[in-house]
Amino acid sequence: MSAPEAHVSTTTDVVALEVDVIARIAAGAASAWAGLEPARRAGALVAAADALQLSRDELVAIAMTETGLSEARLNGELTRTAVQLKLFAETIVDGTYLDVRLDAADPEFVLGPRPDVRRYLLALGPVVNFAASNFPFAFSVAGGDTAAALAAGCPVIVKAHSGHPKLSVRTGEIVAAALEGAGAPHGTLQVISGQAHGVAMLQHSLIRAGSFTGSIRVGTYLAQVAAARSVPIPFFGELGSVNPVFVTAGALAERNDAIADGFVTSVSGSAGQLCTKPGFLFVPASASEALQARIAQATTGLSEHRLLNPGIASGYRERRETILATPGVTTITQGSLRIDENGQGWATPTIARVSVADLLAAKVQLSEEAFGPLAIVVEYENESLPEVAEALFEGNLTGTIHSAAGEDTTALRSLIEWLTENVGRVLFDGWPTGVAVTPAMQHGGPWPATTNDSSTSVGTAAIGRFLRPVAFQNAPQALLPAALTDANPWLVPQRRSPAGESASWGDLNG
């Protein structure tokens, strides 16, 4: 570690020095923040939510300028962000999340005298959260990962996304002030910017976990950085997903127009820049004509939407050109993409069409995510859909089935089985965008949807990412953490294993 008076000769030194100072401030806050009674930490999260609401006009105005997203969308997203903070406050307030387990000492235990053991979940310590471009509130400075880590008791350092720098700084100021005003220690939330700073922070010895939402390329790199540290740390990356949708003949016969309209809405919302945008719609070739007609109709006259930033615009252009130039691909809706003099992209939806056979033949060109308002309708005949899916796709955040009551469920069941093994959320007769923030939500999935499918980045179960268990054996009451004491001043739920339970197990020593 460089001391403040060390000679600073290169940019790298400056980055290391700045990152070190920020990491030390976070580490200095860790013990006091983790040690707060859960109800008080919940109160600080509610104060942060309220502060966001009070600064709504200012923040939405900045976000509109920086991201091109609509006022309505940004207002809704800010609301969601505040609600997320309140949901995590609810999640921790009664202490259930601590998973307190108290095993009473048991001199008669079947394996010999058992000590008094008490276990709960502890905050990991300072974490770095890499913000996403496409949700400047809900997956950014005060977004889901931040809320989950703060709720767990971890100080958070957010590496701001370059797509909304002013919004990131201002959100950080507002939320940090609200947290500190409600009793959080200084440094509970900090914001940094710049790729070099982000990587150096992930490598800093005081950082105990990382989270990320973004591309497969960057996410894979950061996961490797986290794994290659001299002390490796957990890294939760949400990378990429094409979210296939499978439509049966029965579903099309029953509700062709509703499926077409729902598909177009889900593909074009937020200009297709959502992790859960449905990238592929599998439909029976025999009934595809009417669906395509309705899709063409639903996409007619949609106005241009600005893409988030020039980097996304050029990436989208490349993917779109590759897809449209692939043999066998035709367009239902050609759509448009215009890149202006500032490099900003302006797009209307592009809906392509291909047969299963041509898709399988061009897997390399077609199966990768196109981040923007483009999706591919895939016409199937008698192919086995689980086998097609297995050949084409890796892990995904979501997979969807549209079917009709009364159809044969044998084929559906094998498709459901494939989806269950390969995605984080299986949907029926709906669309994967618009992820609900609830206790049962699962926003994650096998690689490369995420680097770690044991957790979620949306919904209150996300708190588990930022906790680790610790046990205390035969500790004097006065030296135990409050939640583990018999007095239980915080009134948290305590799961007790009393003595004598093994008495009925018989003589196991045979």
CA 326/CA 319 separation, integer angstroms = 11
190 touches its own copies by CB under 8 A: no
- DSSP characters over 418-452: HHHHHEEEEEESS-S-S---STT-----TTTTBS-
* Binder of its own copies out of 350, 424, 457, 485 (CB under 8 A): 424
- DSSP characters over 7-51: ---SHHHHHHHHHHHHHHHHHHHHHHHHHS-HHHHHHHHHHHHHH
Note the Cα 385 to chain centre separation in Å.
28
Segment 204-223, which members bind its own copies (CB under 8 A)? 223
* Binder of its own copies out of 318, 495, 500, 503 (CB under 8 A): 495
Number of chain residues interacting with its own copies (CB under 8 A)? 88
CB closer to its own copies, 3 vs 405 = 405
CA 106/CA 114 separation, integer angstroms = 5
Q: Is 485 helix (H, G, I), strand (E, B) or coil?
A: coil
467 touches its own copies by CB under 8 A: yes
Segment 234-253, which members bind its own copies (CB under 8 A)? 234
* Binder of its own copies out of 195, 321, 413, 503 (CB under 8 A): 413
Number of Cα atoms under 13 Å in the Cβ half of residue 485: 12
73 touches its own copies by CB under 8 A: no
Rg (Cα) of the chain, in Å, rounded? 25
Q: Of these residues, 275, 318, 369, 383, which one is catalytic?
A: 275
37 touches its own copies by CB under 8 A: no
417 is catalytic: no
412 touches its own copies by CB under 8 A: yes
Number of Cα atoms under 13 Å in the Cβ half of residue 365: 17
CB closer to its own copies, 118 vs 294 = 118
275 is catalytic: yes
Element (H, E) at 472: strand 467-473
CB closer to its own copies, 40 vs 101 = 101
CB closer to its own copies, 343 vs 430 = 430
Task: Quote the least distance from Cβ 193 to its own copies, whole Å.
Answer: 28
Yes or no: say if 27 and 125 are a contact pair by the CB < 8 Å rule: yes
Cα four-point dihedral sign 196, 59, 460, 455: negative
Task: Quote the least distance from Cβ 13 to its own copies, whole Å.
Answer: 25
Give the per-residue contact string, 102-141, with its own copies (x = CB under 8 A; - = no).
Answer: xx-----xxxx-xx-xxx--x--x----------------
Q: Of these residues, 238, 321, 369, 383, which one is catalytic?
A: 238
477 touches its own copies by CB under 8 A: no
Q: Could you list the active site residues? A: 238, 275
